[in-house]
């Protein structure tokens, strides 16, 4: 694994032509944009966690059966400060540092306690977000960075705090049919309250404000007060349907007081997140039409969810599918000391997630008996059990174990759907198999390659397709054997047969998330 995760990657700002084997569909034209950590040491200093590394953008441009690759480090303020100092000077998730080692602990304590919430990093390494015609590298802090999708050049920095007043936000926004962006962030201790803020970024701006970015027209759709002022929930994604937003307030929580004294204690941000295994996971359903939550109080067992898969409405109920863990141990797996273990030596010690389906009734019978199941849907065994205190306990249906990084045909986002494209993490959180899971038949198709790391499997539909799985799958494959070059894999999404490989003679890095931008004729 040291070949894949243990060294810094070189950037390739000029296009590198790939060697294509097989045949790429002629209709596949566009650019796959990906984001992830690429630099883990600066000078003599080293990051502790894979999620800390400096963001390295890369792209695969596909036209007329050819593929061109390029990569470039995000020139964030964090990157510039680290490179100029030739050491890590900005703290990240798993690595705490002091920006000026000449200051003594008393000076650091005084300057830090002058504000409770620190000024987080702008090392935007998790995903790419499209806002109208603009593209942004994003992470989970209040900062996002505009990029040029053709050259991967870093452009201006945007601070969410100046737009919607939030300190953190998810790196998995949603897009509605008009292209508007929906996302959730947390406003910490603002006017005596800690709130979860759901906001919208329009795809277009009014004619009278042409020339301005859609980000200058953000609007708050609604906000929910956190159950705790000083320990709001951590979350990585959320779900949407045509009319509703699903937000899980889970017992994996941020300790604000510990965060406020992290520098003094010499602990990292990761240690400020705690899983409270005795607490509930609260399910908030927000009506997009009114901006108000459904009044029924839904909850389920304690769990940690990083990725929602999809959600949709059916016969007066709402179904949503998530990848759920029993605790927060997944993050520990990605400390670089753990990732250095050879992939051949992994023996199933990784946390194994479960694909779970939840069902909640959108209208509840006040006269229903305590203990009765309020879900009346033939399509699922998930239950919603009425309790004495007017709360409803949601018992999920277990669909499948051992898949992660779920992707769907996004045309079915918020709608009934059948297929999940994901990676297999049964025996290792570093996947070597791509799966196609059929929710109707409970069957799977798979593609695999030994001793490698592969990215999430992104679905691209065939133009004019009517079938949900009519399209192709794109995934970046990096071998743990140095002599084998990395390649872009192209699969037929329906049959899961391999169509082509585009071998890249470049230093390709393992990434996290991204999107495909089709060419516009």
Reported as a single tens digit per residue, the pLDDT across 293-342 is 999 999 999 999 999 999 999 999 999 999 999 999 988 888 888 876 64
- Percentage of residues of the chain with pLDDT beyond 70: 92
Query: What is residue 211's predicted lDDT score, i.e. its pLDDT?
Result: 66
Summarize the annotated binding site as residue ranges: 172, 236, 307, 513
- Asked whether the beta carbons of 161 and 141 are under 8 A apart, the reply is no
| 5, 48, 341, 520 from 337: Cα distances, Å | 10, 8, 8, 44
Give the span between the Cα atoms of 263 and 112, in whole angstroms. Answer: 8
- Percentage of residues of the chain with pLDDT beyond 90: 74
Element housing 81 (H / E): helix 77-85
Domain ranges for the chain, please list them: 2-518
Query: What is residue 100's predicted lDDT score, i.e. its pLDDT?
Result: 47
| 283, 319, 382, 434, 436 from 379: Cα distances, Å | 21, 10, 9, 26, 20
| pLDDT of 514 higher than 70 | yes
The CATH architecture that domain 2-518 belongs to is 7 Propeller (2.130)
- Asked whether the beta carbons of 153 and 72 are under 8 A apart, the reply is yes
Summarize the annotated binding site for Fe cation as residue ranges: 172, 236, 307, 513
Element housing 127 (H / E): strand 127-131
| pLDDT of 346 higher than 80 | no
Query: What is residue 101's predicted lDDT score, i.e. its pLDDT?
Result: 45
Structure tokens at 377: 């849907």
If one compares 260 and 103, the residue with the highest pLDDT of the two is 260
Of 72, 233, 246, nearest in space to 147 by CA: 72
Based on the number of CB atoms within 10 Å of its own CB, is 45 exposed (0-12), middle (13-18) or buried (19 or more)?
A: middle
What does the pLDDT look like over 376-426, one tens digit per residue? 899 999 999 999 888 999 999 999 999 999 999 999 999 999 999 999 998
| pLDDT of 74 higher than 60 | yes
Of 248, 244, 251, nearest in space to 293 by CA: 244
The arithmetic mean of pLDDT across residues 344-369, rounded, is 81
Q: What is the average pLDDT score of the chain?
A: 90
pTM for the full predicted model: 0.93
| pLDDT of 64 higher than 60 | yes
- Asked whether the beta carbons of 420 and 437 are under 8 A apart, the reply is yes
Residues 139-167: b if buried by 16+ CB within 10 A, e if exposed: bbbbbbbbbebeebebeeebebbebbbbb
């Amino acid at each position: 694994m040291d070949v894949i995760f243990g060294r810094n990657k070189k950037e390739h700002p000029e296009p590198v032509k790939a060697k294509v084997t097989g045949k790429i569909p002629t209709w596949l034209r566009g650019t796959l944009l990906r984001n992830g950590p690429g630099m883990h040491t600066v000078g003599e200093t080293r990051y502790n966690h894979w999620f800390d590394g400096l963001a390295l953008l890369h792209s695969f441009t596909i036209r007329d059966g050819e593929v061109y690759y390029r990569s470039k480090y995000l020139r964030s303020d964090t990157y510039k400060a680290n490179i100029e100092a030739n050491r890590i000077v900005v703290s990240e998730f798993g690595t705490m540092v002091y920006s000026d080692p000449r200051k003594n602990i008393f000076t650091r304590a005084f300057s830090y306690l002058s504000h409770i919430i620190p000024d987080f990093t702008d090392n935007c390494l998790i995903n790419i977000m499209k806002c109208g015609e603009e593209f942004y590298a994003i992470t989970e802090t209040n900062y996002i960075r505009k990029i040029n999708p053709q050259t991967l050049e870093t452009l201006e920095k945007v601070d969410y705090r100046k737009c919607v007043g939030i300190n953190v936000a998810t790196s998995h926004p949603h897009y509605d049919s008009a292209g508007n962006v929906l996302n959730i962030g947390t406003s910490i201790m603002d006017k005596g309250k800690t709130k979860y803020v759901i906001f919208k970024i329009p795809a277009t701006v009014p004619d009278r404000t042409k020339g301005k970015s859609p980000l200058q027209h953000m609007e708050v759709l609604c906000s929910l007060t956190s159950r705790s002022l000083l320990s709001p929930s951590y979350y990585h994604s959320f779900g949407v349907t045509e009319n509703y937003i699903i937000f899980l307030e889970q017992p994996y929580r941020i300790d604000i007081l510990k965060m406020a004294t992290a520098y003094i204690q010499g602990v990292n941000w990761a240690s400020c997140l705690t899983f409270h295994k005795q607490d509930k996971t609260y399910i908030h359903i927000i009506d997009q039409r009114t901006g108000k939550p459904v009044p029924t109080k839904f909850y389920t067992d304690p769990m940690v969810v990083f990725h929602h898969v999809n959600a949709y409405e059916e016969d007066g109920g709402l179904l949503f599918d998530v990848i759920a863990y029993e605790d927060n141990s997944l993050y520990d797996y990605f400390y670089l000391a753990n990732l250095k273990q050879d992939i051949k030596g992994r023996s199933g010690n990784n946390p194994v997630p479960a694909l779970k389906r939840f069902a909640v009734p959108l209208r509840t019978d006040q006269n229903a008996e305590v203990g009765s199941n309020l879900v009346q849907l033939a399509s699922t065994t998930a239950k919603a059990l009425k309790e004495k205190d007017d709360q409803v306990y949601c018992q999920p249906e277990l669909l499948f174990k051992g898949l992660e990084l779920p992707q769907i045909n996004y045309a079915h986002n918020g709608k009934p759907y059948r297929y999940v494209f994901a990676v297999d993490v049964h025996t290792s959180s570093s996947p070597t198999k791509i799966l196609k899971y059929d929710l109707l038949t409970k069957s799977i198709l798979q593609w695999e390659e030994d001793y490698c790391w592969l990215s999430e499997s992104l679905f691209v539909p065939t133009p004019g397709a009517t079938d949900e799985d009519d399209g192709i799958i794109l995934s970046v494959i990096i071998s743990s054997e140095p002599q084998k070059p990395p390649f872009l894999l192209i699969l037929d999404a329906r049959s899961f047969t391999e169509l082509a490989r585009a071998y890249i003679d470049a230093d390709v890095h393992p990434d996290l998330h991204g999107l495909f931008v089709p060419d516009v004729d």
